[in-house]
């Protein structure tokens, strides 16, 4: 009887806890559910149907979609932000209000209205899966301006941004890949794509040398739309913060439209 009483008491204690305290991240650690609204933005966890998600490779079937609560625009640009290697291990609730949306919430960027899409991957980003996911999101959100879709990412996210655009160069109006090692195998198709790449000068040699080499190759092919930022004294960890402080990023991004 004492044991049964103990079990009943334990169940009552657990049920009395706030719902956010009962959420778990898969490692047994509790986390607090994030608010769905900040500033003029609302976030929704979008469940990709199994008929679409069954085609994914490593891509998770839930994505975060941020949209302005009030806007005078009928068509909005879309920024897709790709996380680094650790971003796929956390519950999607823990991912809210990070990445590009944090930059858009800053006072100096509140003049821009945009949708922000944040998928999750359990490993390196796979371009075909990202294309399938984006096609689904666009079919459900007809207010996206198809000529103003952008992709940004750092480290693994920078590599994913680059390889997605390399395989589907006509998808984006511009990309900002950061802290990555560029693959130049299909670079010919990226000549007309606006690219702003970023890296710290104390990062690994393949990144520090690879990004300027990428720019040089594109310029040789005739590109007039590629530029790079090299952050003095920044390694792979610290360059991420420097990239977020780089002035004029959204002004440059949102001024571009796919031809």
Query: What string of DSSP letters covers 143-200?
Result: TEEEEEEEEEEETHHHHHHHHHHHH-TTS-SEEEEES-----TTGGGGTTS-EEEEEE
**Domain-by-domain residue ranges, the chain?**
27-254
- Residue 234's pLDDT band (boundaries 50, 70, 90)? very high
Mean pLDDT in residue range 60-89: 94
Q: Which residue has the tokens 């003095």?
A: 232
First to last CA, the chain: 75
Higher pLDDT, 1 or 82: 82
- Residue 163's pLDDT band (boundaries 50, 70, 90)? very high
Helix (H) or strand (E) holding 14: helix 2-16
Higher pLDDT, 86 or 257: 257
CATH 1.10.3720.10 fits 27-254, yes or no: no
Mean pLDDT in residue range 108-119: 95
50 vs 31: CA distance, rounded Å: 27
pLDDT for residue 32: 58
């Amino acid at each position: 009887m004492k044991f049964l009483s103990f079990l009943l008491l334990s169940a009552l204690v657990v049920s009395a806890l706030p719902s956010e305290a009962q959420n778990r991240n898969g490692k047994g650690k509790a986390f607090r559910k994030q608010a769905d609204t900040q500033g003029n933005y609302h976030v929704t966890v979008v469940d990709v149907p199994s008929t679409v998600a069954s085609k994914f490779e490593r891509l998770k079937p839930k994505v975060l979609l941020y949209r302005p609560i009030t806007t005078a625009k009928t068509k909005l640009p879309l920024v897709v932000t790709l996380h680094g290697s650790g971003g796929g291990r956390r519950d999607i609730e823990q991912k809210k209000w990070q990445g590009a949306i944090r930059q858009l919430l800053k006072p100096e960027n509140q003049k821009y209205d945009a949708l922000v899409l944040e998928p999750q991957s359990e490993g390196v980003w796979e371009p075909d899966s990202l294309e399938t996911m984006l096609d689904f999101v666009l079919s459900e959100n007809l207010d996206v301006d198809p000529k103003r879709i952008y992709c940004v990412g750092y480290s693994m996210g920078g590599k994913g941004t680059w390889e997605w655009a390399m395989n589907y160069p006509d998808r984006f109006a511009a990309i900002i890949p950061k802290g990555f090692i560029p693959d130049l195998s299909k670079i010919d198709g990226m000549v007309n794509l606006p690219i702003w790449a970023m890296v710290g000068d104390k990062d690994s040699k393949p990144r520090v040398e690879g990004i300027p080499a990428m720019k040089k190759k594109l310029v040789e092919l005739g590109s007039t739309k590629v530029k790079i930022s090299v952050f003095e004294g920044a390694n792979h960890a610290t360059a991420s913060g420097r990239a977020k402080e780089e002035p004029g990023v959204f002004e440059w991004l949102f001024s571009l439209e796919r031809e």
